[in-house]
Structure 1
Amino acid sequence: MIVYFGGTAYDGVAGTDRQLTDRLAALAPVLYVDPPISLATPLLRPHLAGSLDGPPLRRQARDLYRLIPRALPGAYRPGMHHVTAALVRRATRQAAGRLGRRVTAVVIATFDAGLLGAVPGARTVFYATDDLVAGAGLIGLPARRMEKARDRLLARADAVAAVSPRLRDDFRDRGRDAEMIPTGCAPEAYEGIDTAPWPPDLAGFGRDRPAAGFVGHINARIDMGVLEGVAAAGHPLLLVGPHDPAHEPARFRALTARPNVRWTGRKSFAELPPYLRAIKVGLTPYARSAFNDASFPIKTLEYLAAGRAVVATDLPSARWLRESDPEGAELIRTEAADGFVRAVGAELAAADPAGATGRRRRFAARHDWTHRARALARLLDIDREEVPAP
């Protein structure tokens, strides 16, 4: 069995952790371990209240199990984070015992070095899906603690993986080679997208003029000026995803009040295909920062999987996609902030060349989550042919 310590709850945003473990479970049994939760957690994050309902250990699918460890209030305060890690380690060993599985591999996809040794004797891979040292302020934890945890994980893990070229190179500079395992996409989710029912809450939006669209969290990581520029240029702009109330509330209200802008709020991953049908160009407008430069936004590949054109901020991850695949430079347009709006206008006005939609989808299929899961399985020394039938 593989134990995967995720940085997000399994039933939260269907991001890297969830997508990878769903596919790893086709190669070997997986126990997904959520970040720990206490009785006080729902007071700060009400959307997690449901996690306390039901037993801590649950079966999600065939060969995929989920553990929701319980913690004491103030789980990540100085000093208490050691107690929390000890509780999670014990709960993980108990869960594996209840399932009657021998744990042979562990993935730590967080910066919690206290999870090292959770299962003695198991091969451990540290998988950095973000630069949490640079992003410590975003998650409300001390940067110094994140730095010490990162260095301990780099020193003690059996193998290291990094989500982006910037993180991979940073780890190499720190004396540890890392396998690059970027984010992927789910092309199968967009099969039949062009005949999907038009979303009822769009009421004709994008029917008469091609629209640009953004899918994801609208927070401090996003360049609000780019979104404002696209709207000010008169282009129809669709925003799908939650807005952080603390991030530029007045600017966001003014943006969504424009007649050519439609904001849907949060939508689940399963709900996305009809909304992507309504756009011609997908936007990945990230602000330049150390945290963003080390990230690998999922949305760029998801737009391509849906057959849509892409304009993305010129992050190292976008450049890697353009340079690592022969078709990348033609299918992904990268721009700095000052040229982003012009590029969006050009893509909206351009006629798609014959076969462009198919080429985008084939490109995305070469970067799907199954490929990423197999790369991670190789680091874990998991060979499908050696996995016994349950």
Structure 2
Amino acid sequence: METIMYISGGRWDGLPGTDRLLVESLAVAGPVLWVDQPAPVFRFGDVRKYMVRSLRGVPEILTPHLKRLRLPAPPLFSSSVGRPITHAISTHCMEKAIRFSGRPPAAVINASPVVAFPANVAGTRLLHLTDDWLAAADLIGFPSSYLRRSLERNLAAADVVTAVSPGLAAKMSSFAGRPVGVLPNGCRPPVRRTTDNRRRPITALVGQLNERLDLDVLESLADSELDILVLGPRTASDPAAKLRLNAFLSRGNVDWRGYVRPREVRRLLETASVGITPYANTEFNRSSFPLKTLEYLSAGLPVVATDLPSVSLLECSALFVAGDRTEFVDLVRGALGHHPDQQQRDDMRRVAEANSWEVRASTIRDLCGQHIPPDAVAESVRGGHHDR
């Protein structure tokens, strides 16, 4: 099978997110060349170590089907001086890697807000929008004008464009004047059936701890004296958000474990009773499709989430949506007090199976191999009755 090049929006050894989880599933069926987001050589020792190999286009072999290419960047790579240098280096490394492989990739999937498609690739070019990059300047660290130009350039070069949520697809379709399909995030396969005696009256929060979270909701949960298990690193940059997160994580009823490996996350989720997705109602979040919601359902956990558009896609009787922080706490209390019934268990499994990363990878390969029109991309996110 021919190789797919995947230009990511992050680094392979960062916190596993959409890009890595999707690529791991793509690599089960065939070869994939993963391309890191550009990273400054002065900050990352592995980028310095592999710099000569990267400039020669020689990737690191991760598995028999998966290779990794790092993109070295100069100091101040996001500045007006550093950006054109970074672009030139990235283009050079990718084109060298294509020549090194001896055969051009069958498709290039670009999920980066700043890296351009390599030139002279005959295969399908698929632009996958994992976030609202037009609203992401503060989170990404690049000027909004530069992110806009990068997006316009990649939209013009792409054969197919997909986005993780209907809202983002509609926004990008209006921006680009072309169809944008919906390809939501996925999850790992559902867990084996667990016994209720392994569950404890614990609320679980998984993922990065930053400004995207609704801190009012978190503080209300902590004030309610519910036991909260938090799995994920702090990544907030706003000073006020940092202070509030520090205060929340230092509460006696909050058990913060920091970064936890994926297998350990799944094991810990099997001991909790409810998962929470407390996202703030911001422009960026309204276009997102939180990974954690599907991961909770895949782990057999009922979910309480704030009312964002992506939640309405998931029809599941074990998913509860809160309109404000008081209702959020009440719904969490209710979920902690009742084990899921058989209908809810069946719904959680059905939704997880319909939204596995394997399903997403199969859709991606179909898009790349057959040029399926974007408006024909299946939104396989539903399953069961949605109790709100």
TM-score using structure 1 length: 0.85
Q: What is residue 71 of structure 1 aligned with on the other side? A: 73
| CA distance in structure 2 between the partners assigned to 1:241 and 1:232 by the alignment | 21
Question: Is residue 2:207 matched to residue 1:216?
Answer: yes
Question: Is residue 2:341 matched to residue 1:353?
Answer: yes
Q: 1:337 is matched with which residue: 324, 332, 348?
A: 324
Greater Cα offset, 356-365 or 290-299: 356-365
Question: Is residue 2:289 matched to residue 1:287?
Answer: no
* Alpha-carbon contact 1:295-1:317 (below 8 Å) kept: yes
Decide whether aligned partners of structure 1 residues 192 and 231 sit closer, same or farther in structure 2, where only a CA change above 3 A counts. same
Decide whether aligned partners of structure 1 residues 13 and 382 sit closer, same or farther in structure 2, where only a CA change above 3 A counts. farther
Greater Cα offset, 238-247 or 11-20: 238-247
Shift of 1:191: 4.0
Q: What is residue 364 of structure 1 aligned with on the other side? A: 352
TM-score using structure 2 length: 0.86
Q: 2:233 is matched with which residue: 232, 242, 252?
A: 242
Q: What is residue 52 of structure 1 aligned with on the other side? A: 48
Q: What is residue 388 of structure 1 aligned with on the other side? A: none
* Alpha-carbon contact 2:109-2:125 (below 8 Å) kept: yes
Q: The residue matched to 1:319 in structure 2 has which SS?
A: helix
Give the letter for the 1:118 counterpart: A
Q: What is residue 275 of structure 1 aligned with on the other side? A: 268
Shift of 1:38: 3.0
Give the letter for the 2:279 counterpart: Y
Give the letter for the 1:349 counterpart: G
Q: The residue matched to 1:300 in structure 2 has which SS?
A: helix
Give the letter for the 1:377 counterpart: R
Q: What is residue 118 of structure 1 aligned with on the other side? A: 119
Q: The residue matched to 1:124 in structure 2 has which SS?
A: strand
Matched residue count: 359
Give the letter for the 1:116 counterpart: F
Q: The residue matched to 1:258 in structure 2 has which SS?
A: coil
Q: After the TM superposition, which residues 108-257 of structure 1 pair with which residues of structure 2 at under 5 Å, given as runs?
A: 108-112=110-114, 115-174=116-175, 175-187=177-189, 190-191=191-192, 207=200, 210-244=201-235, 246-247=237-238, 248-257=241-250
Q: What is residue 375 of structure 1 aligned with on the other side? A: 363
Deviations 1:10-67 (A, max 9, x none): 1211111111111212333211100123322x1xxxxx43343355420111221110
- Identical-residue share of aligned pairs (%): 33
Deviations 1:123-164 (A, max 9, x none): 211111001110111122111111222223223311101111
* Alpha-carbon contact 1:193-1:273 (below 8 Å) kept: no
Q: What is residue 376 of structure 2 aligned with on the other side? A: none
Q: The residue matched to 2:362 in structure 1 has which SS?
A: helix
Shift of 1:195: 10
Gap regions ≥5 residues in structure 2 = 372-388
Decide whether aligned partners of structure 1 residues 102 and 221 sit closer, same or farther in structure 2, where only a CA change above 3 A counts. same
| CA distance in structure 2 between the partners assigned to 1:194 and 1:90 by the alignment | 54
Shift of 1:313: 1.3
Deviations 1:143-186 (A, max 9, x none): 11112222232233111011111111112223111111110001
Q: 1:320 is matched with which residue: 310, 313, 324?
A: 313
Q: The residue matched to 2:6 in structure 1 has which SS?
A: strand
- The root-mean-square deviation of aligned C-alpha atoms, in Å, is 2.3
Gap regions ≥5 residues in structure 1 = 43-47, 199-205, 323-327, 384-390
